[in-house]
Structure 1
Amino acid sequence: MAVDEYGIPASGIVTSGTVADCSQAPLLMEDLEAEAFLADKAYDTNELLDMLKEADITAVIPPVKSRKEQRAYSHELY
Protein backbone atom coordinates (compact mmCIF):
# COMPACT_ATOMS: atom_id res chain seq x y z
CA MET A 1 0.00 0.00 0.00
CA ALA A 2 1.21 3.48 -0.80
CA VAL A 3 0.03 6.34 1.40
CA ASP A 4 0.32 10.10 1.15
CA GLU A 5 2.08 12.40 3.61
CA TYR A 6 -0.93 12.18 5.93
CA GLY A 7 -1.02 8.37 5.96
CA ILE A 8 -4.11 8.25 3.75
CA PRO A 9 -4.04 5.31 1.30
CA ALA A 10 -3.22 6.41 -2.24
CA SER A 11 -2.94 3.00 -3.95
CA GLY A 12 -2.50 -0.63 -3.09
CA ILE A 13 -2.05 -4.13 -4.45
CA VAL A 14 -3.56 -7.31 -3.01
CA THR A 15 -1.50 -10.47 -3.44
CA SER A 16 -1.42 -13.96 -2.03
CA GLY A 17 0.29 -14.40 1.31
CA THR A 18 3.37 -15.97 -0.27
CA VAL A 19 4.31 -12.93 -2.37
CA ALA A 20 7.04 -10.70 -0.95
CA ASP A 21 5.77 -7.17 -0.34
CA CYS A 22 8.97 -5.62 -1.69
CA SER A 23 8.36 -7.24 -5.09
CA GLN A 24 5.24 -5.07 -5.47
CA ALA A 25 6.96 -1.77 -4.68
CA PRO A 26 7.99 -1.07 -8.31
CA LEU A 27 4.33 -1.36 -9.37
CA LEU A 28 3.25 1.05 -6.65
CA MET A 29 5.95 3.52 -7.72
CA GLU A 30 4.86 3.75 -11.36
CA ASP A 31 3.07 7.11 -11.05
CA LEU A 32 4.41 8.07 -7.65
CA GLU A 33 5.37 11.66 -7.04
CA ALA A 34 7.24 11.78 -3.76
CA GLU A 35 10.21 13.27 -2.00
CA ALA A 36 10.79 10.25 0.24
CA PHE A 37 9.91 6.54 0.32
CA LEU A 38 9.49 5.20 3.87
CA ALA A 39 9.47 1.45 4.40
CA ASP A 40 10.75 -1.21 6.78
CA LYS A 41 13.80 -3.46 6.35
CA ALA A 42 11.88 -5.89 4.15
CA TYR A 43 12.10 -3.28 1.37
CA ASP A 44 15.89 -2.99 1.54
CA THR A 45 16.60 -4.38 -1.92
CA ASN A 46 19.16 -3.13 -4.43
CA GLU A 47 16.51 -3.06 -7.17
CA LEU A 48 14.20 -0.79 -5.18
CA LEU A 49 17.04 1.44 -3.95
CA ASP A 50 18.25 1.88 -7.55
CA MET A 51 14.72 2.76 -8.71
CA LEU A 52 14.36 5.34 -5.95
CA LYS A 53 17.73 6.88 -6.76
CA GLU A 54 16.83 7.08 -10.45
CA ALA A 55 13.51 8.77 -9.59
CA ASP A 56 15.32 11.19 -7.21
CA ILE A 57 13.27 9.93 -4.25
CA THR A 58 14.98 9.68 -0.85
CA ALA A 59 15.02 6.13 0.50
CA VAL A 60 14.09 6.05 4.18
CA ILE A 61 14.60 2.32 4.64
CA PRO A 62 16.70 0.85 7.44
CA PRO A 63 19.37 -1.47 6.03
CA VAL A 64 19.22 -5.17 6.82
CA LYS A 65 21.97 -6.34 9.17
CA SER A 66 23.46 -8.61 6.50
CA ARG A 67 24.48 -5.64 4.28
CA LYS A 68 28.26 -5.37 4.10
CA GLU A 69 28.02 -1.57 3.98
CA GLN A 70 25.35 -0.17 6.24
CA ARG A 71 23.53 2.67 4.50
CA ALA A 72 22.56 5.82 6.37
CA TYR A 73 18.88 6.81 6.54
CA SER A 74 16.85 9.47 8.33
CA HIS A 75 15.86 8.12 11.74
CA GLU A 76 13.70 11.20 12.19
CA LEU A 77 11.62 10.54 9.07
CA TYR A 78 11.46 6.81 9.78
Structure 2
Amino acid sequence: MVDALGNLVRFLLLPGQAHDMKGVAPLIRGVSFDALLADKAFDADWLIQDLDERGSTAVIPPKTNRKIQRDYDAEIYKWRHLVENYFAKIKEFRGIATRYDKTDCSYAANWNLVAALIASR
Protein backbone atom coordinates (compact mmCIF):
# COMPACT_ATOMS: atom_id res chain seq x y z
CA MET A 1 0.00 0.00 0.00
CA VAL A 2 1.37 3.40 -0.99
CA ASP A 3 0.12 6.87 -0.13
CA ALA A 4 -0.87 9.65 -2.54
CA LEU A 5 2.78 10.57 -3.06
CA GLY A 6 3.79 7.02 -3.96
CA ASN A 7 5.54 6.26 -0.64
CA LEU A 8 5.19 2.91 1.08
CA VAL A 9 2.63 2.93 3.90
CA ARG A 10 2.31 -0.77 4.65
CA PHE A 11 3.07 -4.12 3.09
CA LEU A 12 1.99 -7.64 3.82
CA LEU A 13 3.64 -10.90 2.82
CA LEU A 14 1.31 -13.56 1.47
CA PRO A 15 2.01 -17.11 0.35
CA GLY A 16 2.89 -17.19 -3.34
CA GLN A 17 -0.18 -19.22 -4.25
CA ALA A 18 -2.62 -16.88 -2.44
CA HIS A 19 -4.66 -14.29 -4.32
CA ASP A 20 -4.00 -10.67 -3.41
CA MET A 21 -7.60 -10.25 -2.21
CA LYS A 22 -6.77 -12.32 0.89
CA GLY A 23 -4.39 -9.60 2.03
CA VAL A 24 -6.61 -6.57 1.46
CA ALA A 25 -8.61 -6.67 4.68
CA PRO A 26 -5.59 -6.87 7.03
CA LEU A 27 -3.69 -4.38 4.87
CA ILE A 28 -6.29 -1.61 5.09
CA ARG A 29 -7.35 -2.34 8.68
CA GLY A 30 -6.68 0.70 10.86
CA VAL A 31 -5.61 2.94 7.96
CA SER A 32 -7.74 5.96 7.09
CA PHE A 33 -7.90 7.19 3.50
CA ASP A 34 -10.30 9.04 1.23
CA ALA A 35 -9.98 6.77 -1.80
CA LEU A 36 -8.59 3.34 -2.61
CA LEU A 37 -7.13 2.98 -6.10
CA ALA A 38 -6.75 -0.62 -7.22
CA ASP A 39 -6.91 -2.67 -10.40
CA LYS A 40 -9.69 -4.97 -11.59
CA ALA A 41 -8.45 -7.88 -9.49
CA PHE A 42 -9.73 -6.05 -6.40
CA ASP A 43 -13.27 -5.58 -7.73
CA ALA A 44 -15.19 -7.42 -5.02
CA ASP A 45 -18.56 -6.50 -3.57
CA TRP A 46 -17.42 -6.99 0.03
CA LEU A 47 -14.47 -4.61 -0.45
CA ILE A 48 -16.55 -1.92 -2.12
CA GLN A 49 -19.19 -2.23 0.62
CA ASP A 50 -16.48 -1.98 3.31
CA LEU A 51 -15.07 1.15 1.67
CA ASP A 52 -18.55 2.70 1.47
CA GLU A 53 -19.07 2.04 5.19
CA ARG A 54 -15.75 3.75 5.92
CA GLY A 55 -16.72 6.75 3.82
CA SER A 56 -13.95 6.04 1.31
CA THR A 57 -14.26 6.05 -2.44
CA ALA A 58 -13.50 2.87 -4.37
CA VAL A 59 -11.64 3.77 -7.56
CA ILE A 60 -11.58 0.26 -8.97
CA PRO A 61 -12.59 -0.54 -12.55
CA PRO A 62 -15.29 -3.20 -12.70
CA LYS A 63 -14.45 -6.65 -14.01
CA THR A 64 -15.80 -7.34 -17.45
CA ASN A 65 -17.82 -10.32 -16.21
CA ARG A 66 -19.90 -8.21 -13.78
CA LYS A 67 -23.59 -8.44 -14.59
CA ILE A 68 -24.18 -4.86 -13.49
CA GLN A 69 -21.27 -2.62 -14.45
CA ARG A 70 -20.61 0.16 -11.97
CA ASP A 71 -18.95 3.51 -12.57
CA TYR A 72 -15.54 4.60 -11.36
CA ASP A 73 -13.56 7.81 -11.75
CA ALA A 74 -11.20 7.15 -14.66
CA GLU A 75 -9.31 10.42 -14.11
CA ILE A 76 -8.44 9.54 -10.51
CA TYR A 77 -7.61 5.98 -11.58
CA LYS A 78 -4.79 7.34 -13.75
CA TRP A 79 -2.89 8.07 -10.51
CA ARG A 80 -2.59 4.34 -9.84
CA HIS A 81 0.66 4.47 -11.77
CA LEU A 82 2.26 5.62 -8.50
CA VAL A 83 1.84 2.09 -7.17
CA GLU A 84 3.46 0.65 -10.27
CA ASN A 85 6.26 3.22 -10.04
CA TYR A 86 6.94 2.17 -6.46
CA PHE A 87 7.28 -1.47 -7.49
CA ALA A 88 9.67 -0.38 -10.24
CA LYS A 89 11.78 1.39 -7.59
CA ILE A 90 11.72 -1.69 -5.38
CA LYS A 91 12.79 -3.92 -8.28
CA GLU A 92 15.95 -1.83 -8.69
CA PHE A 93 17.16 -3.76 -5.66
CA ARG A 94 17.96 -7.16 -7.09
CA GLY A 95 17.63 -9.11 -3.84
CA ILE A 96 14.02 -7.96 -3.47
CA ALA A 97 13.08 -8.52 -7.11
CA THR A 98 14.45 -12.07 -7.18
CA ARG A 99 13.62 -12.87 -3.53
CA TYR A 100 17.04 -14.14 -2.52
CA ASP A 101 16.08 -14.31 1.14
CA LYS A 102 15.21 -17.72 2.47
CA THR A 103 12.90 -16.66 5.30
CA ASP A 104 9.90 -14.36 5.43
CA CYS A 105 11.46 -12.49 8.33
CA SER A 106 14.62 -11.55 6.42
CA TYR A 107 12.64 -10.73 3.28
CA ALA A 108 10.37 -8.38 5.26
CA ALA A 109 13.42 -6.80 6.89
CA ASN A 110 14.93 -6.14 3.47
CA TRP A 111 11.67 -4.59 2.30
CA ASN A 112 11.82 -2.22 5.26
CA LEU A 113 15.44 -1.40 4.53
CA VAL A 114 14.77 -0.73 0.84
CA ALA A 115 11.68 1.35 1.70
CA ALA A 116 13.82 3.48 4.02
CA LEU A 117 16.45 3.92 1.29
CA ILE A 118 13.81 4.94 -1.26
CA ALA A 119 12.19 7.36 1.20
CA SER A 120 15.57 9.00 1.89
CA ARG A 121 16.19 9.81 -1.80
Identify whether the pair has TM-score above 0.5, normalized to the shorter chain. Answer: yes
What displacement does 1:39 show? 0.2
Gaps of 5+ in 1: none
What displacement does 1:48 show? 0.7
Whole-angstrom distance in 1 between the partners of 2:22 and 2:48? 12
Q: In the alignment, what sits opposite 2:59?
A: 60
Q: In the alignment, what sits opposite 2:19?
A: 20
Q: In the alignment, what sits opposite 2:80?
A: none
Gaps of 5+ in 2: 78-121
The structure with the larger Rg is 2
How many residue pairs match? The answer is 77
Secondary structure of 2:9 counterpart: strand
Aligned residues: percent identity?
A: 38
Q: Report the residue type matching 2:42 in the other structure.
A: Y
4+ residue segments displaced more than 6 Å: none
The structure with the greater share of residues assigned to strand is 1
Q: In the alignment, what sits opposite 1:43?
A: 42
Secondary structure of 1:59 counterpart: strand
Whole-angstrom distance in 2 between the partners of 1:63 and 1:12? 24
The structure with the greater share of residues assigned to helix is 2
Tell me the C-alpha RMSD between the 2 structures: 0.7
Matches within 5 A, 1:63-74: 63-74=62-73
What displacement does 1:23 show? 1.7
What displacement does 1:36 show? 0.3
Q: Report the residue type matching 1:70 in the other structure.
A: Q
- TM (norm. structure 2) is 0.62
- TM (norm. structure 1) is 0.94
Secondary structure of 2:58 counterpart: strand
